[in-house]
Amino acid sequence: MKNFSKKIKINGLRKIYDKDGYLSPIDIITNEEAKNHRNRLELAETKIGSLHYKSKVHTIIKSAYELATNRKMLDIVERILGPHILLYNVTYIIKEPKTMSHVSWHQDLTYWGFSHDDQVSAWLALSEASELSGAMKMIPGSHKKGKKNHEITNDKNNVLLQGQTVKNVDEKLSVLCPLKPGQASFHHGWTLHTSKSNNSSDRRIGLNIQYIATHMRQMKNDTDTAICVRGEDQFNFYQKEEPARIDLDIEALDKFKRLDEQYKKTAS
């Protein structure tokens, strides 16, 4: 396993992404800004409980929407997807310290039901993601080989909704992608990736953001939702979401619960 820690310059991003299927690390916000956004998340958790793996959090927490629409984030996504971008989902992925939670080898696009693969997964670190705390590993170039067979597993420590797992991945080909708070990685929906358990003494907190091109259609239902965050939605395949205007608005919380349930049903 390699450790890819060299910072990537913005010039040539698309070439690297097309070759490897991911970019990492990319500076997005400062360490202090990351701390501030972490504090805003954890304040919300004191009021409504854990937000780990809850979908559509950008509809109830302003911080999540601010990060998902950060200019640097969208500039990079635009280089990959083009000028017309939908924000499909935002989720905090949190591994508590000294716990067994992990993410098995998988590909993001496997269960989402999209018509195309013009999608980018961004992962923004709000705390350090190191080898000790369970940073992601990628298999460079794996996105070029298309969809792999995923087995459904029954593992209570696997963060994935169905424990979906690609077996017999050659770990020697993997690259560790550590991130400092405020840095992000971006990967293709067919890029094989995983992350191990958090053996550090701090929470490993990442904000996972899913962007799709506007021509991507949801094939499983006609009730899916999204927000156009750059360019123009020429197709209007999705019902419109409302981003958080204030944190934890009561009406927004009710909608959020329904959106979270619908997302998980679609992805199952």
Chain segment 23-40, per-residue pLDDT in tens: 999 999 999 999 999 999
* Mean pLDDT score across all residues of the chain: 93
What 3-state DSSP class applies to 83? coil
Which domains are assigned to the chain? 2-267 (2.60.120.620)
pLDDT at 46 over 90: yes
Q: How far, in Å, are 120, 152, 218 from residue 213 at the CA level?
A: 9, 28, 12
% the chain with pLDDT above 90: 82
Chain segment 200-245, per-residue pLDDT in tens: 999 999 999 999 999 999 999 999 999 999 999 999 999 999 999 9
Q: What is the pTM of this model?
A: 0.93
Q: Which helix (H) or strand (E) holds 240?
A: strand 239-240
Rounded Cα distance between 19 and 9, Å, is 15
pLDDT at 177 over 60: yes
Rounded Cα distance between 189 and 138, Å, is 12
pLDDT at 1 over 90: no
